Chain A
Amino acid sequence: MSNEIKHHLTDDLLMAYSAGTLPEAFDLMVATHLSLCDHCRARAESFDAVGGCVLQEQDAYVSMSDSSLAATMALIAQGAPALKDARPSCSILPAPLQDYVGGDVNAIKWKPVGMGVKQAILPTTNEATARLLFIPAGAAVPDHSHNGIELTMVLQGAFSDELDHFARGDVEIADQDVHHTPTADVSSDCICLAVTDAPLKFSKLMPRLFQPFLRI
């Protein structure tokens, strides 16, 4: 299922995801990509193995209270939380994104941001921003660069910029040195998940007016 993904996450991001030190918006990006990409899932799970070793090999031993096992059995007796279906589905949004949207693409509450482009900001902690972007077939997101890091992953359709071509599952990682104009392929509308840890810098005056609306 992930054979065609060409643009993957970095070791730094995967290790930080495994260690649990990323802002929530970045966790959402990683979890969404791993749902589509077994290559990165295997890399992430090997970083989890490091965490397992660290957990096992701690130098300070802390004992549990005498009643802790009984208390845990009582917790267990309260019943299991509901579990999600693990079978692969035909949805456009992978399971972790559906948890934030409340359904598949039809449930996304788009807000127009001009020139046919729409977005939906997802509810995460404010250290970083996660949003879904809708770019009409053949349209472009305004030319911009970044103060921090911006990750963009394709969920439907594809886009190209000055650097490369990105299709479903591919992640573009852009930092302050990247100055790009992502343009959707003409064949279909493009839906992306975009995560940023700092506001974007737009190059032209016009799009700058959109920035408060875009919240990017």
Chain B
Amino acid sequence: MKIIHQTDPPWAKPRNVVMFTEIDTATLDEPVAESAAKPVWRGSTRFKGKPVNRQNKTCDARTEWVGHVRRIRDTQDQVAFAELFQHFAPRIKAFLIKSGSDATLAEECAQEVMATLWHKAHLFDPSRATVATWVFTIARNKRIDVLRKQRRPEPQDLWWGPEAEPEQEDVLVLQQETAQLRSAIAALPEAQRQLIEKAYFGDLSHREIASQTGLPLGTIKSRIRLALDRLRHAMN
């Protein structure tokens, strides 16, 4: 896929300016309003190797969420936060319910996860994770803390600090590769896909997940490794 990108980082731009343009996809700058009734996931909408929502002109890479997190970090933008909330909070709540929480606790935890997102916006590194990946890690830690009632040791935080940013191209490529991973998971046979979901909802021990069903993680891993190398260089 050909990539066209501008030299300024997207978060340096005013709102509603086109940030990234990808051939074959609609513009990504406008947040797409979510409907509570919007069906999420599969049914007849799965396309092997193609963006899942291609037919309704939104791109799964959804790189604009990156801009939203930057706006929260830089200007405490409550509009950006509300849009992120509308998209992610119901998913966090559903994730926690599937992990064994009751609805009331899941609602409370989803709010706390979103509050953590606000407070840690400066730690988000879009050259290593999509916003969805980052939200998943916060929600997972909340699940361990609240449902399993144990501490969650995390690796030492690494972030770019106030004086540096990741390369925009690194950000875009990582976001795209994660979108491809999402398509690959969607295209898996039902039984394998369910196995992965169960594993990440905390239903399975790791010994029950055999060989990870051949997911294409090699490129993402290399990309994250490169981003870490650049980050280490910037930190030293």
Contact = CB atoms under 8 A, between A and B. Distances in A.
B186 A64 contact: no
Q: Which of A20, A39, A83 has the most CB of B within 10 A?
A: A20
A23 B196 CA distance: 19
Contacts of A24: 150-153
A86 B206 contact: no
B94 A20 contact: no
Q: Which of A34, A50, A95, A100 has the most CB of B within 10 A?
A: A50
Interface in B114-164: 114-115, 118-120, 123, 128-130, 132-137, 139-141, 143-144, 148, 150-159, 161
Interface string B79-123: 001100110011111110110000100110011101100111001
Nearest to A37: B155
A50 B140 CA distance: 12
B196 A46 contact: no
Nearest to A59: B41
A86 B91 contact: no
Contact of B78 (A58, A62, A73): A73
A43 interface: yes
Contact of B235 (A16, A84, A87): A87
B114 A19 contact: no
A62 B90 contact: yes
A212 interface: no
Nearest to A1: B232
A128 to B, nearest CB: 11
A53 B181 contact: yes
Interface string B32-72: 00001111111000000000100000000000000000000
A34 B136 CA distance: 18
A31 to B, nearest CB: 4
A58 B107 contact: no
Interface stretch (B2-10, B13-21, B22-30, B197-205): B197-205
B209 interface: yes
B111 A51 contact: no
B187 to A, nearest CB: 12
A76 B85 CA distance: 13
B178 interface: yes
Interface residues of A, number: 67
B173 interface: no
A71 B232 CA distance: 38
A42 to B, nearest CB: 4
Contacts of A125: 150
A15 B206 contact: yes
Contacts of B130: 49, 52
Given A20-B144, A63-B90, 14 more contacts: A22-B206, A31-B155, A48-B133, A49-B130, A52-B135, A56-B132, A59-B41, A61-B94, A64-B110, A69-B82, A75-B115, A88-B156, A95-B155, A96-B153
Query: What 10 pairs across the A-B complex have the smallest Cβ distances?
Result: A52-B133, A16-B206, A34-B155, A31-B153, A95-B156, A42-B225, A80-B119, A52-B132, A51-B136, A42-B224
Interface of B: 36-42, 52, 78, 81-82, 85-86, 89-95, 97-98, 103, 106-107, 110-112, 114-115, 118-120, 123, 128-130, 132-137, 139-141, 143-144, 148, 150-159, 161, 178, 181-182, 185-186, 196-197, 199-202, 204-207, 209, 212, 215, 217, 220-222, 224-225, 228-229, 232, 235-236
